[in-house]
Each structure stands twice: as C-alpha cells, then as structure tokens.
Chain A
Amino acid sequence: MSRIAPLLLLLLLFFSVPVFAEEQDFSLEEDPFAEPETAKIADPLEPVNRGMFWVNDKLYVYLLKPVAKGLRVIPEPARVSTSNFFSNLGTPARAANNLLQLKFTNTAGELARFLVNSTFGLAGLFDPATKWGLEKKDEDLGQTFGHYGIGQGFYLVLPVLGPTSLRDGVGRIGDHFVDPLPPALKTEELAGLRVLDAENAISLDKDTYEGIRENELDPYLFVRDAYTQMRAGKVRK
C-alpha cells in the first residue's frame, strides 16, 4: 500500500477537476422528487470502451452465462449461502470505508454483522444479522472518494470486470488491500474463488443484462448511464 499510495493520490488530484460540465438545464415543472441531474460521465475513450463492451458481451453470452445457467441446478438456498459467504468476507472493505466516511454507526454495524454472521450464521453462510435489523451498509473506496467530492473522472469498461470509472477503478485497487482473501491464498486459488463468486452472482440474477441487450436501442449508452446513476446514488447514501 505504501508504494502505491502516492500514485493514487496523484491520480486523484489530477482527476478531481470536473471534466464534464452540465450543458443543459431543463425542468418541465418543479419536481420535488427529481433525481439530481449531475449523474453524467465523460467518455473520452468511447471507441475503446465500446470495443471492450463488445468483447465482454460475447464473453457473457457465450461463456459466463451458460456456466451460470449450469449452476442453477444447484438449489437456490445453497447459492444464496455462497453469496452470503463472499459478502461476509467483504466486511473489512465495507467497515473501513464507512469509517473513512466517518459513518461510525455503520462501521460498528458492519463489525457486529461480521461477528453475528461468522458465528450464528455459520462462517457467513447465513445472514441472521439482517433479520435482526442489522442491515449491510455497502461502501467501497470509490464511494469514499465520491463522498469527499471527487468526481468519476471518466468512464472505463474493463475486460471481464465490466463498467467502472477512473475513480471507482482506482477504488477497487485500494479495496483489494483490505480483502482478507489475497494474503491467505495462492493466485490461482484466488482467481478460482473470484470466478465462483461472479458465476454464482450471475446465476442468482434475473437476466438483467439480457433484458437490456434485447430492449435497448444502444445497450452501451444505457449501461453507461445506469452505472453512472447507480454509483451517484450510492455516494449520496
């Protein structure tokens, strides 16, 4: 972490300047419930991103999804438990980022969840904490950056991992350092678990991406905007 920290800081300073200015301001009628209009993202790498989106699309349709469909023969409760297990291991990152945002109650909540779910929840396979009113408080380093006013920078589509932004991508690298799995495992074991986690998540998902690629005029634009809005929403929370 110590070697990479100055680099991260430099990148952040560089990109904290808003790259994209709001060009239109339109309101039909005063709407007290309108979502903030700021959720837009610059996309200077669009041609490259579109290429990567195309590759990921094929990867998803021809490899990841068929495997996930295969996983669906496993009863859903078992897959939900798998998802709970990985989610429980995400506690350090969530707790750290709640702390960095000075959300002390949430930090304590995350730690309490970890204790409850690791014991009564049988090593995280079950999630009794949520039933007891201790809900997961999802935070990551990208959101922490956002919380302190750092913009998305620009949109990025990563191979396999999919949509992200400069800010959130850097955040992912940062969160990696508090992940309990990497130090404990060999690289190939780690990769195997990551694939399992992802495939399991796709198997639980209700074909969201299929809906988008079937219905939308331009799935790339739709996903880019949905990602931007979703992340802006998470930062506001």
Chain B
Amino acid sequence: MGLHWMTKYRLFLLVGGFLLVAGVALATPGPLEQARTTVDAVMAILRESNLEKEARREKLSTTIRARFDFSEMSQRILATNWKSASEAQRDSFIRIFSDLLERNYIGRIESYTDEKIDFLKERVQGNRAAVDTVIVTKSAEIPISYRMVQQGSEWMVYDVVIESVSFVNNYRNSYGEILKKEGFDGLLARMTEKLAQLEQGGDPSQP
C-alpha cells in the first residue's frame, strides 16, 4: 500500500517548498550583513588615498544610494507636509535632501575611518529591522543604530539613530519649523542654496 499519487505529489511540493524557502533564507544576507557590507564598502572607499575627489564622491554616492531609501526617509521627515505637497515638490525634496544627507553622512563617518565599528545585533520584526552598531574610539563608544525596511531581498536604511538622536526626527523637527515659517518652497530654496554652497567647496562657516 503506497501513498496515493496525489498525496505523494503534495508531499513532494511541500518538501520542495521548504527546501526552497530554507535555501533563499540562507542565501539572502540579513539586515545586519547588508548594513555591514555597505558600511565596510564606504570605509574602504574613504581609506583609498589615491582616488581622485570626483571619482571618490561618485563611488561613495553609488554605494550609499544602493542601501538608503531616501524616498521613505523624506516621507517620514515631511510627515503631514508630505500629504499637502505637490508631486514636483516631493521630487525636488527627495533629490536635494538625498544630496545633502549623503554629504552629511560621508562627512560624519569620514572622521571615524581609523576607528573600529562593531556590528552588535539585528532585531527584525516583520519587514522592519534595527541594526545596532557601535563606533569604538579611544575615549568613547558611540552607538549608531540603522533602521531598515525590507524591499524584496534588500534591506534599505530609512533612519540612522546616533546616541538616541534619530536623523528623521531631528530633520522632521528642524525642517518642520522652517516649513511653518517659510512654506514648502521656502524650505526648498534654502536647501538648494545650502547644497550650492557646499558644492562650491567653499566652507562659508570657517573663520
């Protein structure tokens, strides 16, 4: 008495399905591994000393944009203002903000190229994850947590939390004040101006 062919077939499908799922789970690195790969790549580029300035920017930009979801980040920052903004305003915001944040992030992490970054743990809940890291300098330990959302097999960063200070919350509050006083186009104008200032390479704030 063998199993009915239909039962066998179902069993086959079931086992096959299990193997497939297990295989994919093993093959796809989790959020921590994906974040580590990106941070390591950024560090490696920053340490390359013989790279020309423009080429370096380009490489950094590609690496960061493959791991950061600037659209989700922008929506979170603009919060209720996102709903009232026009399509064109939203697009401009994402474009300028991603440029600004990219520079900001590179500038911050650049100071720590000689330090050790430990990837401590990942916490996954559904399609969201938090990856906790710590930069260990000689005088301090700086906790940095990456908040990520799953999109297909990729985990994308939408917030960076440094010592309990969330990028998204920080920008939501500080940009929110400017939005309140100067409106959406006022904010965009100031962002454009700041970006141009930074791109000229001139640092207007230095004495």
Partner of A35, one of B72, B169, B174: B169
> How many of chain A's residues touch chain B, expressed as a range?
35 or more
Partner of B178, one of A207, A218, A229, A232: A218
Most buried by A among B104, B139, B194: B139
Q: Is the CB of A232 within 8 A of B138?
A: no
Contact A214-B177, Cβ < 8 Å, known A33-B125, A35-B161, A206-B112: no
Q: Is the CB of B175 within 8 A of A33?
A: no
Mostly, the A contact residues are helix
Nearest-neighbour CB distance to chain A for B202, whole angstroms, equals 10
Contact A83-B174, Cβ < 8 Å, known A33-B147, A61-B207: no
Partner of B170, one of A24, A210, A213, A229: A229
A24-B80 Cα distance, complex, nearest whole Å: 8
Q: Is the CB of A233 within 8 A of B128?
A: no
Q: Is the CB of A230 within 8 A of B164?
A: yes
Q: Does B76 contact A (CB under 8 A)?
A: yes
A40-B76 Cα distance, complex, nearest whole Å: 16
Complex interface: chain A residues within 8 A of B80 (CB) = 24, 26
Q: Is the CB of B207 within 8 A of A215?
A: no
CB-based A-B contact count at 8 angstroms? 96
Complex interface: chain B residues within 8 A of A79 (CB) = 139
Contact A229-B169, Cβ < 8 Å, known A80-B139, A218-B177: yes
Nearest-neighbour CB distance to chain B for A62, whole angstroms, equals 6
Pick from A95-103, A183-191, A219-227 the stretch touching chain B. Answer: A219-227
Complex interface: chain B residues within 8 A of A217 (CB) = 174-175, 178, 187, 190-191, 194
A3-B73 Cα distance, complex, nearest whole Å: 51
Residues 161-199 of B at the A interface (beta carbon under 8 Å): 161, 163-166, 169-170, 173-175, 177-178, 187, 190-191, 194, 198
Partner of A211, one of B108, B163, B191: B108
Q: Does A234 contact B (CB under 8 A)?
A: yes
Q: Does A6 contact B (CB under 8 A)?
A: no
Complex interface: chain B residues within 8 A of A213 (CB) = 205
28 pairs from A and B in contact (CB 8 Å cutoff): A28-B75, A32-B128, A33-B130, A35-B161, A37-B169, A61-B205, A79-B139, A80-B138, A83-B139, A204-B139, A206-B112, A207-B111, A210-B205, A211-B104, A213-B205, A215-B104, A216-B174, A217-B174, A217-B191, A217-B194, A218-B177, A218-B178, A221-B174, A229-B166, A229-B169, A230-B164, A232-B164, A233-B164
